[in-house]
Structure 1
């Protein structure tokens, strides 16, 4: 295996050093979607009480049912006595009601309705216990390895747990898979049958705060005495999206202030840099017994990385492949990796693929290659 260092482009301009974000949250996870970079982790893989933030899993199950055609926006669900009697945040459905799927989505996202969650759980699975089992199965399929759910609403329960990383990964899945439904997370008010108190608005503080250069558009707050105040949030700036999850704050105000501070840090202390444009040949690698002596290695979509301010001269880029590469080679074959190492973040690994076909050489070509290889070994033996 051979490794080659690549000179970092001079376009990585110097700037003031980025400082680690010191959050008051007991657990946090921050993710840059475009580059796939985890910007910050704090107890992110620890299963914790998620409070209403776990309603994202209930919504995921409902969104998937919509996508699969099992329900439609105008499908109605009955309201059981259990749903009607749910405490905490409510949509204020009553047993005689038949809310639509669309209304229930609003009731969960905007009103954080525990009653709406039970209606959805019973409407999709027959009972909340059965729905919890389905959620756990789906969570495992989605790779949420630190998630165990016992109810649909996030109601306090010793067995109801999610990690902040799992919540963030779930948010990323929802944003990618449901672009037509995701805009509902930016809605700020919904009053089902004029029963919702006038102050019962979407509690996401960033929807009201925002900034001149970025906009928040989701996703879900959470609060219980055990969990503290938390938020699964997302904001976008010039096409660049950041997802973050925080938990364990001491007050609604602390959650709002910490969220805004964190988003400002994520957007203003990191810059997106293009290291390899799409289609550009990264390296020309030797070929063994092919009709061509070398083959270009490139990336499928280029390489963009998120670089913390002030560490540009510490970025290390390596090309790794076995040399020489034996023929035959087909265009698009994965032949190596480009590894970008940036201080303070996980390595970015991008496959390197062949830019062209290189058929295996004919008999004479193989003989010539064998002779050259033997000659090289002989020279090595004499000079070694």
Structure 2
């Protein structure tokens, strides 16, 4: 018996809302730039977002991300102590070793403090010490970084070390992939994200001679300058220039931005603030469906039910240029019929919204309830129905 092949199913959704004719203009001297609205999935700006770039210290977002996931899973504790190997200290201290947490050889440091050293201070030493603590060696940790990059959809990235130090091109990424990493951290480990990325300064180590505590500020150019800014990470090397992956949330709307290849520290501040403010001011979010609201239905194959209701997993909105008018079109798209069993809350379809000349905005839809696999006679009946349909 020949099985019926899965195919793309599209159904229309009628929505009457203002919409855009064209994206508002924006320009930046950054070699690479990318801005996405997580509330709608709308890409607000993209300039060479798929071009490979060295991430510099923005690679440390992945180091923190892996630690966050292990903490969430109970495989790593914030209170766990990690020892600074003398060899690691020797390699990562002094002016030639870049940003530092000012660790000492043989020192015992908690995972929590190392994460502050990575996120707030951008410590190259802290990144390597945590990597060795988790995986035994930094190369072994880099393998974990690449596994995680594959899992979350960073399709054009590779990590050769834990801190983004130049390594003759082994470590590379794209603006699109950096935004995907930021999104995964924010959505998958929100409590740890808030705990570590919002801190404005951190104190660790002591000055030589005076033995005074060393306090360093967070280099995030948005903190204190853009309302709702709460992350993420800067990066700078001679090869990469000045870069930044940042995020802010205003009125329930979260944006993620990436800039890279800027020429100076101050230019990074100016361009980052301007870019994020443009995202919030030049674009508006128009509500579509509230969390849990019914959007449509999907056909089910080999299930106890022939259809399953599709609902919004969170508040869904479409992003349109400020002050624009017009019409929008929306459609439900999925590969189906969806084969049972289906879990409640399972992502099985997408809502694709089109607004004038702007790119389509894709939002997830989930199953409102579980659908069990049909019994023996139900499967026989479904097979006969598909044979003659």
TM range (shorter): 0.7 to 0.9
**2:233 counterpart SS class:** strand
Which residue does the alignment assign to 1:163?
174
Q: Is residue 2:273 matched to residue 1:260?
A: yes
Which residue does the alignment assign to 1:91?
101
Q: Distance in 2 between matches of 1:74 and 1:311?
A: 52
Q: Distance in 1 between matches of 2:142 and 2:27?
A: 35
> For the structure 1 residues 115 and 12, does the alpha-carbon distance in structure 2 shift closer, same or farther, using more than 3 Å as the test?
same
Q: Distance in 2 between matches of 1:280 and 1:181?
A: 29
Q: Distance in 1 between matches of 2:260 and 2:177?
A: 13
Q: Distance in 2 between matches of 1:338 and 1:208?
A: 36
Q: Distance in 2 between matches of 1:139 and 1:197?
A: 37
**Please, which of 172, 181, 199 is the counterpart of residue 187 of structure 1?**
199
1:311: how far off?
A: 4.7
Which residue does the alignment assign to 2:379?
none
Q: Is residue 2:45 matched to residue 1:45?
A: no
Q: Is residue 2:65 matched to residue 1:65?
A: no
Which protein has greater RCO, CA pairs closer than 8 Å, 6+ apart? Answer: 2
**Please, which of 314, 327, 344 is the counterpart of residue 358 of structure 2?**
344
Q: Say which one has the larger Rg.
A: 1
Q: Distance in 2 between matches of 1:238 and 1:19?
A: 21
Which residue does the alignment assign to 2:385?
none
**1:132 counterpart SS class:** helix
* 1:102-124, Cα deviation, whole Å (9 max, x unpaired): 11011011111000011011111
1:345: how far off?
A: 2.1
* 1:269-310, Cα deviation, whole Å (9 max, x unpaired): 21111345677777899xxxxxxxxx9986445752111235
Alignment of 1:1-384 (within 5 A): 9=16, 11-12=17-18, 18-85=23-90, 86=92, 87-158=97-168, 159-183=170-194, 184-195=196-207, 200-210=216-226, 214-275=227-288, 299-300=311-312, 303-309=316-322, 311-313=324-326, 315-318=328-331, 339-342=352-355, 343-348=357-362
Which residue does the alignment assign to 1:381?
none
Q: Is the 8 A contact 1:18 1:310 kept in 2?
A: no
> For the structure 1 residues 317 and 54, does the alpha-carbon distance in structure 2 shift closer, same or farther, using more than 3 Å as the test?
same
Which segments of 5 or more consecutive residues in structure 1 lack a partner in the other structure? 286-294, 358-384
> For the structure 1 residues 341 and 113, does the alpha-carbon distance in structure 2 shift closer, same or farther, using more than 3 Å as the test?
same
Q: Distance in 2 between matches of 1:73 and 1:296?
A: 42
1:82: how far off?
A: 3.3
What TM-score results when the alignment is normalised by the length of structure 2?
0.76
> For the structure 1 residues 152 and 36, does the alpha-carbon distance in structure 2 shift closer, same or farther, using more than 3 Å as the test?
same
Q: Distance in 2 between matches of 1:207 and 1:283?
A: 41
Q: Distance in 2 between matches of 1:137 and 1:283?
A: 35
- When structure 1 is superposed on structure 2, of 89-98 and 187-196 the one drifting more is 187-196
1:318: how far off?
A: 4.6
Q: Is the 8 A contact 1:73 1:102 kept in 2?
A: yes
> For the structure 1 residues 192 and 338, does the alpha-carbon distance in structure 2 shift closer, same or farther, using more than 3 Å as the test?
closer
> For the structure 1 residues 167 and 200, does the alpha-carbon distance in structure 2 shift closer, same or farther, using more than 3 Å as the test?
same
Which segments of 5 or more consecutive residues in structure 2 lack a partner in the other structure? 1-7, 299-306, 372-389
**1:117 counterpart SS class:** helix
Q: Give RMSD over aligned pairs.
A: 4.0
1:151: how far off?
A: 0.7
**2:359 counterpart SS class:** coil
Greater share of strand residues, 1 or 2?
2
Q: Is the 8 A contact 2:293 2:312 kept in 1?
A: no
1:68: how far off?
A: 2.3
**1:99 counterpart SS class:** strand
> For the structure 1 residues 57 and 115, does the alpha-carbon distance in structure 2 shift closer, same or farther, using more than 3 Å as the test?
same
